[in-house]
Structure 1
Amino acid sequence: MNSKTDRSRVAVNDLFARLNAVGDAIADTSSTKCTPLDLKGYFTASSKDFGPRARARELGRGSEHDGYIRTPGGAQVFRGIPFLLGSEDAEAKSWIILTTRPTSWAKSSIEIPLEQKADFVCLAAFCDWDENEMPPPNVEDTVEKVGERLADAVWVYEDGHEHALPIRRRFEVNSPSTLWGHLSFASVPHLREAPRKLTEPLPHGAEWGDLQTTVWDVNYPSGPWEGIAIVWLSALANPEPARTVKALRLEANSDSPLIVCGLTLFRGRENPLRYDRASLYRVTLPEPDGDEDRWKVAVDLGVVARSYLLNGFDPASWLVASGAGLGERASPNPGARYLYIEVAASPEARLILYDTRAGTEYEFDLSQAVPGRELAGRPRGASIEILEREKVWLHGQVIDAITRRPTPVRLAFRSKEGRYIPPYGHRTEVNAGWFQDYGADVKLGDSSFAIVDGTFQVELPVGEACLEMSKGFEYQAVRKKLNIAPGQRDLVLEINRMVDFRSQGWACADTHVHFLPPSTAVLEGQAEGLNLINLLAAQWGDLFSNVGDLFQGPLTSRDGETIVWPGTENRQHILGHLGLLGGHGAPVYPMSASGPEESYLGDPLWTSLADWADECRKRQGLVVAVHFPYPTAELAADIVLGKIDALEIRPGQGYFNTLRFLDWYRYLNCGYRLPCLGGTDKMGAWTPPGALRAYAYLGQNE
């Protein structure tokens, strides 16, 4: 296997195998409603007959060499609909080409006998590229051929009555690849969208950003689908489905060709390619088992967006438990009785639950699922029920109980089963890895939270929901049950202040935060009751973080109570690390020295910690020994020389009898009266700013 094309093809096959874990069952399920038509006797052309296309050379699978368009062949299932296609061989006749232009490999009309009833005919087809989408520079006036009527699909009934439906460019069909912004209005790619997991391996590190979307987008194929020619699927409705259809006639209406790869009749009242919005289903498993990998779920006419087991959650116990706002580890649930799945599908869809251990498949006809009633599978043993069928979109406010004004907080909504429901604009699955998710989201243990500015919008299920909310150390954290009413539009929440240190002249700070954008840091600081965040730029090998924020200086919240002040963390992996805070003017460079893990390969030992400290003080800044006393090397000399202004100390193993505190007391006992600061060293969504903080008395007038 030497070519990129071969590797891509293997990746695609592996991915389809993973997505369709019950692939044969899905095809069999579809066949009860679908009749694929065998078009071998009607094919008029091969890809070679059609000829090379310049745009086809941008594709893969061999097209990049000869310019021939290569489409899938043989028996295929596209989005749950089976098709009988021609050969993949570019020299074999595999397409019906319709055009008004006389040619030996195309026809102006073709009629296919049916003699049966059908509600829809599903078309797998494409058209040639529109040359007006990329006109040459010397052409003064061109119009894209959007809506060009390439052909008609004519339903021919037994009594001779006919009904024609248009097949139009960028409606029912489109080209094998599309420029951005040129998608189709009434057809979809034959490839199926699919969910991704944040934990899945990446073939290339540069694809990390795409993975954060947690979806495979097939409109512009990339990744495992890169270079594949798209066949466009549309479902043309029969206006008289009760009547027997004698034949289907395809008639050309343009000299621009329509290329038909496959046709399938569909029996059902709803369009098989038109999906309802995602619904949450609860599957009662055949037997309790908390092994999530044991259960695989697939749907024929739709997509499974998520499937998961929920950990043990008892709302009554949770409401009265201590630790509100602090996050918690979920209780294992080895005897999980339910699997939860989020499915976007046609009302005609069928869902399959596959027990990989027992080798048993359970089939559910989703058209029979009714809210409030369990639907038994075939065979019996598993059942399914729609949850949260009725939802309301709420405009929310969080009000300070004393000032009666909106106030930023960190909050989480949970369903009565324990499922996290984020406000709009926040992630469902928070990425708590290093340098991963630096939006306004936090994941403490297994508990996810969103940071909001005192206003939010959220869609909640009607009925019971749970709320958790906090705002730093001076407000009473909240856990409460909500009752959401049908038709409700507003939600007002209150949070109570226990103590107001600021009014007594105190201010609090987190002196060590990384990666956050300054405006997001302001919001998170407000939500955690912080007055100051020192946002530290740093070097990590060839990665430089927050350097672009240094030159704008401090950023202050609108109420003037929270300041984010960019500074630097200057680091040498043996000598020590320094936080250079509150300086004015140019930053102290270089920020790291003498190679990994802080600076880049081969970087020299540019300077000492003492030199960094001196440069910081020239800029009227403060020098902090961050995560004191580690690394343990030059810091001792710099403390004795009076170059360190404060020590950042944190509990290490969950208790205080560690070197972090013992060394501080040794310096105090030797007469070096260094104050202690609290900084989180936040480098990911696993901690909020201010989880470690320092309070300083500034006086009543500050």
Structure 2
Amino acid sequence: MPKFKPVPLGSTVNAARSDPRHWGPKTAGAIAKLPKGVQKFWGIPFEFVTPGSGNDLLVLADDSSVEIAVGAAGSHLVFAHFCDEKASTTVAGQSADYLNPVITAPGEHLADYVVVFEDGSEHRQRIRRRFEINQVQTRMQSGFTSRQHQDLSTVPFRGPYPDNAWGRWQTGVMVGDPPVSGRTAARDDRHGRANPAGSWTIYALELPDSSKKVTNVRIEATGAAAIAIGAITLFSGQNNPLRHLPLESIELEGAGTSADEIEVDVDLGVIARKRNIQHFDGTNWLNSPVKGWGEAPDDPEHIGSIDLAASADATLTVNGSEIEVGPLLESGEAVSNDG
């Protein structure tokens, strides 16, 4: 079974990105800059309808519903979607009332996504603002159960650092592009704070039974705010594809003598660092007749390594050979299928 299967929106698309009538002013402006065509976000491929050929979004601006055919089994339906900035249940005004695009109605119920299985059973998931779906523009208010489409960028935790950014660099990764400076005053960045980069919201809806064929997914909007879907991908795995395990350092034995010689990639994750480290043989160290602190070797052996944060369903590719990340992290070692 393939890991990913794009779900065509087909004839359900009913609006164009260039049509601003469903959206607040900032949302309408940001939609036009969202990625389009064939994309890969957080390692998951998406196939967006190409703008310019008519409608390219599925938009529900009232309490209507629509069904999208799926016709396959999987563990998660992964949506690239977003909602409008205007809210119906806010107690703090509207996003447009603030310089920064503040989310004023977190948790607002905007839709139900109802998964219909071949046996007639259904699975219903509430879609809430800043949880499963989010506004196109936010100011440091990312979703609680979803992600922005911008992938992780690697940053050198040993520096050099932009001013006032040492702490953020210690994670080794960052969502989106790293800032040039950590000291830019608000008065000097009025335009940037008012117009942050727009984002698709990427949400993985977990299916209760991955063995059951999904006939369709029914989108039932509440009408509280307009929502749009740009693409859907069916994922088959054991874990949420957007959830990464903690950062781990992994030795790459047999891949080459230097990290620079190793070609390495991961689909559902990020390689935070690639470097040479001193090879350590724990068994020989324990059996050594020299006890205590030990002795520094005269000619230490080095080996290529990576620092990896990835989903348990990720596949690590080393010099063209594939290694499943889940078994590797669970047992502490793994060998590619081709040896």
Structure 2 Cα separation of the partners of residues 312 and 242 of structure 1: 43
| Code of the aligned partner of 2:230 | C
Structure 2 Cα separation of the partners of residues 269 and 110 of structure 1: 29
Summarize deviations over 1:599-623 as a string: whole Å, max 9, x none. xxxxxxxxxxxxxxxxxxxxxxxxx
| Code of the aligned partner of 1:232 | T
**CA, structure 1 residues 68+266, in 2 after alignment: closer, same or farther (shift >3 Å)?**
closer
| Code of the aligned partner of 2:20 | F
Matches within 5 A, 1:132-531: 132-134=93-95, 136=97, 144-180=104-140, 182-197=141-156, 207-210=162-165, 213-214=168-169, 215=172, 217-218=174-175, 222=179, 228-287=197-256, 289-290=257-258, 292-311=259-278, 319=293, 336=302, 338-354=303-319, 361-369=320-328, 374-380=333-339
Structure 1 Cα separation of the partners of residues 331 and 118 of structure 2: 44
C-alpha displacement at 1:308, in angstroms?
1.8
Q: Is the 8 A contact 2:117 2:215 kept in 1?
A: yes
The answer to whether residue 39 in structure 2 is matched with residue 76 in structure 1 is: yes
**CA, structure 1 residues 341+220, in 2 after alignment: closer, same or farther (shift >3 Å)?**
closer
Q: Is the 8 A contact 2:255 2:262 kept in 1?
A: no
**CA, structure 1 residues 211+37, in 2 after alignment: closer, same or farther (shift >3 Å)?**
farther
Matched position secondary structure for 1:250: strand
C-alpha displacement at 1:280, in angstroms?
2.9
Q: Is the 8 A contact 1:312 1:331 kept in 2?
A: no
C-alpha displacement at 1:222, in angstroms?
5.0
- Taking only aligned residues, the RMSD between alpha carbons, in angstroms, comes to 3.4
Matched position secondary structure for 1:293: helix
> Gapped runs of 5+ residues in structure 2?
88-92, 181-191
C-alpha displacement at 1:82, in angstroms?
0.8
Aligned equivalent of 2:58 = 96
**CA, structure 1 residues 211+92, in 2 after alignment: closer, same or farther (shift >3 Å)?**
farther
C-alpha displacement at 1:136, in angstroms?
4.3
Q: Is the 8 A contact 2:81 2:201 kept in 1?
A: yes
Residue of structure 1 aligned with 2:49, choices 78, 86, 101? 86
Structure 1 Cα separation of the partners of residues 108 and 11 of structure 2: 28
Aligned equivalent of 1:124 = 80
Matched position secondary structure for 1:243: coil
| Code of the aligned partner of 2:11 | G
Aligned equivalent of 1:115 = 71
C-alpha displacement at 1:312, in angstroms?
6.2
Structure 1 Cα separation of the partners of residues 55 and 165 of structure 2: 38
Q: Is the 8 A contact 2:134 2:143 kept in 1?
A: yes
Q: Is the 8 A contact 1:53 1:69 kept in 2?
A: no
| Code of the aligned partner of 2:57 | W
| Code of the aligned partner of 1:96 | L
| Code of the aligned partner of 1:32 | P
| Code of the aligned partner of 1:120 | H
Structure 2 Cα separation of the partners of residues 373 and 70 of structure 1: 43
C-alpha displacement at 1:332, in angstroms?
7.7
Q: Is the 8 A contact 2:73 2:210 kept in 1?
A: yes
**CA, structure 1 residues 47+372, in 2 after alignment: closer, same or farther (shift >3 Å)?**
closer
Q: Which protein is bigger by CA-based radius of gyration?
A: 1
Matched position secondary structure for 2:81: strand
C-alpha displacement at 1:72, in angstroms?
0.9
Matched position secondary structure for 2:11: coil
Matched position secondary structure for 1:55: helix
| Code of the aligned partner of 2:264 | V
**CA, structure 1 residues 313+279, in 2 after alignment: closer, same or farther (shift >3 Å)?**
closer
**CA, structure 1 residues 133+317, in 2 after alignment: closer, same or farther (shift >3 Å)?**
farther
Summarize deviations over 1:197-220 as a string: whole Å, max 9, x none. 268899xxxx44447743453279
| Code of the aligned partner of 2:4 | C
Aligned equivalent of 1:560 = none
| Code of the aligned partner of 2:119 | D
Structure 2 Cα separation of the partners of residues 186 and 222 of structure 1: 25
The answer to whether residue 29 in structure 2 is matched with residue 55 in structure 1 is: no
**CA, structure 1 residues 77+68, in 2 after alignment: closer, same or farther (shift >3 Å)?**
closer
Q: TM-score, normalised by structure 2?
A: 0.77
Structure 1 Cα separation of the partners of residues 68 and 206 of structure 2: 17
Summarize deviations over 1:486-517 as a string: whole Å, max 9, x none. xxxxxxxxxxxxxxxxxxxxxxxxxxxxxxxx
Q: TM-score, normalised by structure 1?
A: 0.40
**CA, structure 1 residues 136+78, in 2 after alignment: closer, same or farther (shift >3 Å)?**
closer
Structure 2 Cα separation of the partners of residues 238 and 371 of structure 1: 24
Structure 1 Cα separation of the partners of residues 291 and 200 of structure 2: 54
Count of aligned residue pairs for this structure pair:
307
